[in-house]
Amino acid sequence: MKELPSLKETVEAYGLLAKKSLGQNFLLDSNITDKIVRTSLAAQKKNDFSDEDVYEVGPGPGGLTRAILKANPQHLTVIEMDERCIQIMHDIQAVVGNKLHIIEGDALKFDFCAPENAPKNIISNLPYNISVPLLIGWLKNMPQFSSLTLMFQKEVAERIMAEPNNKNYGRISVLAQLVSKIKPLMNLNPNCFVPAPKIWSTVLLFQPLERVIAPEVLMQVEKISELAFGQRRKMIRQSLKSLPNLEAKCLAAGIDLTMRAENITPEQYLLLAQQMI
């Protein structure tokens, strides 16, 4: 990677100012981007990503991209909408060759689960404005991935990891915890970014659980949790009253009808969803 100019030189050469409309906040410190990849690998008990594929959403000027490439993935696929950043990716590709694949387009429309032989990992400083929709899509297909190493606004990360009986606990907590083991890797000060956001960021590692939940059951979990958290102040006898045979099914799942959405554990949501199939 020595043939590439520094990130600072790259940003200056392309006049690259982050676009608020794309949720961009660039991470230009290579010490931090290297640490993100290194810490993720260590948590997974891996030395590198050899024989594995990696995807990155919104690579921007390529700081994290360079760090991922140092970890020797079989292929790295970047998905980017900003044509300014696409050219930077081509500059990197000119150095590393076909190991780097470049997709110009919307990550929300990209099929991350297309058939692949190698294990798949996603590592990304996610654009703030699409971080949750992207995560939900990946969680629904978690068995397809080896790992997700993702950066979120700290408050979003707290919602993902929140436990029952906590004000941050919600639908995303339920789904994430049912399909993955989640480990916080690090918190990042706003001053690490250009421009500096108003809040801290958190990097989370998601790894699939051995248990695989059928897609139709996950759909029921989503439906039930949406109903419950849509009226989170109400007892579930009211918020879930549209569900057939609610009392009997709640009894089988160990749920009291006087509970509210935030009192019900992810496992109880799963048991209730299974009753609905």
- CATH number for the domain including 227? 1.10.8.100
Nearest Cα neighbor of 4 from 132, 91, 86 is 91
Residues 105 and 220 in one domain: no
Find all residues with CB under 8 Å of 37, minimum gap 6, and list them: 64, 67, 68, 70, 71, 123, 149
Residues 126 and 233 in one domain: no
Percent of the chain with pLDDT over 90: 79
Q: Any idea what the CATH number is for the domain that residue 130 is in?
A: 3.40.50.150
Nearest Cα neighbor of 53 from 103, 130, 112, 127 is 112
Coil, strand, or helix at residue 200?
coil
Residue 2 lies inside a defined structural domain of this protein: no
| Total number of domains constituting the chain | 2
17-21: which pairs have CB atoms within 8 A and are 24 or more residues apart? 18/60, 18/194, 18/195, 19/82
Is a pLDDT exceeding 80 seen at residue 14?
no
Residue with tokens 């897609």: 215
**Rounded to whole angstroms, what are the CA distances from 123 to 24, 78, 151, 176, 216?**
16, 10, 8, 17, 28
pLDDT range class, residue 259, cuts 50, 70, 90: very high
Q: How far apart are CA 126 and CA 227, in angstroms?
A: 28
Query: Domain boundary residue among 176, 208, 240?
Result: 208
Q: How far apart are CA 237 and CA 242, in angstroms?
A: 9
Quick: pLDDT tens for 215-254.
Answer: 999 999 999 999 999 999 999 999 999 999 999 999 999 9
Q: Considering the chain, what is the average pLDDT of its residues?
A: 92
Residue 107 lies inside a defined structural domain of this protein: yes
Residues 159 and 246 in one domain: no
Residues 237 and 105 in one domain: no
pLDDT at 19: 53
Identify the domain containing residue 97 by its residue range.
7-208
Query: Domain boundary residue among 208, 228, 251?
Result: 208
Name the pTM for this structure: 0.92
Residue 1 lies inside a defined structural domain of this protein: no
Residues 201 and 221 in one domain: no
pLDDT at 146: 97
